[in-house]
A and B are shown apart, each in its own frame.
Chain A
């Protein structure tokens, strides 16, 4: 009896999986095609990063990534009212694209070799650098080497600490820093201010937002040690859309829009923004 009931449950579960698979089919068109036909796009952006993608209390999102999304969508023929923004967290970006829940991901999405098999990247549209946020009165940290023996905040679900301790940085330098785990960047900032950590590390674009918010207590060290190529994530294999977006991104830099948007979002944060377009990469 018990065994039979288990069997029935398994069959039901199997049927459910089959059902999920079946309803996939249908749209085989590219994102570019969708943009042209329906005048609509769903874009995944960050909701929690000041300067890049931040959801405001009135429900709108703002930031550099958001404006890039609006520019690209505009060039593909989608009006601003046709863009639907969804929150893309670091952990769900790949699955959102794979399952077609979003058409594009523009969310501080670094182009890495590990992600390339799963996602087609257009861009890069910006070259950020990983840097360190430190207390303003801390003169001991001036370069990557000086992080040795310092307490570095290790945000769970992020990779920036690995670039320091595992040597995956521009200088290929393994720095023996001690890691202090934390649940998120706000916790790290609290720890930084109470001396429980010495360094909070991630992309300079993100740190700039925090430094601006915290005022004179904290500063960005200005010792970049990686290149983060911010790409536009597209469903794997959608080369047509990728090529089109690459053309749009190149245009964004030549017509001055990129410089204007960077000025709009990072003026006064102390971030040394890149002034030239990052070298283009092909679509794969």
Chain B
């Protein structure tokens, strides 16, 4: 067996600028989707604990449907179904259009996991807290916003970090939503240079550069912000 292919890292150097562009796409996708998923997830969890049965039912239905659909299918629905077939486009420019459809799919999917993490956080808040909030005359929204959610968020920092890491890695399939990220660049390089292990290792390292600090940051935040009970 020819072992030189095992150690030839030169394609990574030659295509370094394109690799950076690929990872920049990954970062933009992750950050945009994370922000939208956090907002959407918070709204969903408010629906799931709301006193109105219709809201509770709608939130539960959304979470159960989207969370149990493979992300690939969600993204294909966005790109091939909603954008291409039904002509619902964000922009005339295909790159911009598919970027936002990829973000839409990723955040719609990730929001369900954010919602469930937050719901478990709400369950850690002592019942007396919510009762006290209602007793001093706060409305449902006020008690959620001022008393329950702040404590819930602080107890689920670690799981939210895991969801963010999963989101970063989930962006590797946005090619099905017609958007190019680092993984698509890797596939292109496999074709140009042959599928060699160094290219794979280089990209695996690149993803770790993104996800490892995320993990450490959220671990540190979780410790710092933990609610002392």
Q: Taking beta carbons and an 8 Å cutoff, which residues of A are in contact with B? A: 17, 20-21, 23-24, 90-95, 98-100, 114, 118, 151, 154, 156-159, 178-183, 187, 190-191, 194-196
Residues of A within 8 A of B98 (CB): 180-181
Q: Do the beta carbons of B187 and A156 come within 8 Å of each other?
A: yes
Query: Within the assembled complex, what's the spacing in Å between the Cα atoms of A229 and B166?
Result: 43
Residues of B within 8 A of A93 (CB): 194
Q: Do the beta carbons of A190 and B179 come within 8 Å of each other?
A: no
Query: Within the assembled complex, what's the spacing in Å between the Cα atoms of A277 and B188?
Result: 31
Q: Do the beta carbons of A187 and B190 come within 8 Å of each other?
A: no
Q: Do the beta carbons of A91 and B84 come within 8 Å of each other?
A: no
Q: Which of B85, B94, B179, B187 contacts A91 (CB 8 A)?
A: B187
Q: Do the beta carbons of A194 and B191 come within 8 Å of each other?
A: no
Q: Do the beta carbons of A158 and B3 come within 8 Å of each other?
A: no
A-contacting residues, B79-110, CB 8 Å: 80, 83-85, 93-95, 98
Query: Within the assembled complex, what's the spacing in Å between the Cα atoms of A282 and B50?
Result: 76
A-contacting residues, B1-53, CB 8 Å: 1-3, 5-6
Q: Which of A91, A154, A158 contacts B195 (CB 8 A)?
A: A91
Interface string of B144-155 (1 = CB under 8 A from A): 000000000000
Q: Does B60 contact A (CB under 8 A)?
A: no
Query: Within the assembled complex, what's the spacing in Å between the Cα atoms of A93 and B190?
Result: 10
Q: Which of B84, B95, B184, B194 contacts A194 (CB 8 A)?
A: B84
Q: A90 and B191 in contact (CB under 8 A), knowing A21-B3, A98-B5, A196-B84?
A: yes
Query: Within the assembled complex, what's the spacing in Å between the Cα atoms of A104 and B178?
Result: 34
Q: Do the beta carbons of A99 and B83 come within 8 Å of each other?
A: no
Residues of B within 8 A of A179 (CB): 94
Query: Within the assembled complex, what's the spacing in Å between the Cα atoms of A118 and B11?
Result: 14
Report, nearest first, the 10 A-B pairs whose CB atoms are least far apart: A94-B194, A91-B190, A24-B1, A196-B84, A157-B187, A91-B195, A194-B84, A156-B184, A157-B191, A98-B2
Q: Do the beta carbons of A187 and B80 come within 8 Å of each other?
A: yes
Q: Does B133 contact A (CB under 8 A)?
A: no
Q: A180 and B178 in contact (CB under 8 A), knowing A23-B1, A151-B94, A156-B187?
A: yes
Interface string of B107-147 (1 = CB under 8 A from A): 00000000000000000000000000000000000000000
Residues of A within 8 A of B214 (CB): none
A-contacting residues, B178-229, CB 8 Å: 178-180, 184, 187-188, 190-196
Q: Do the beta carbons of B188 and A157 come within 8 Å of each other?
A: yes
Residues of A within 8 A of B196 (CB): 95
Query: Within the assembled complex, what's the spacing in Å between the Cα atoms of A178 and B95?
Result: 9
Residues of A within 8 A of B187 (CB): 91, 156-157
Query: Within the assembled complex, what's the spacing in Å between the Cα atoms of A90 and B98?
Result: 26
CB distance from A144 to the nearest CB of B (A): 20
Name 20 extra pairs, CB < 8 A, besides A95-B196, A99-B1, A191-B178. A21-B1, A23-B1, A24-B2, A91-B191, A94-B5, A98-B5, A100-B1, A156-B180, A156-B184, A156-B187, A178-B95, A179-B94, A180-B98, A181-B180, A182-B178, A183-B176, A187-B176, A187-B178, A194-B80, A195-B84
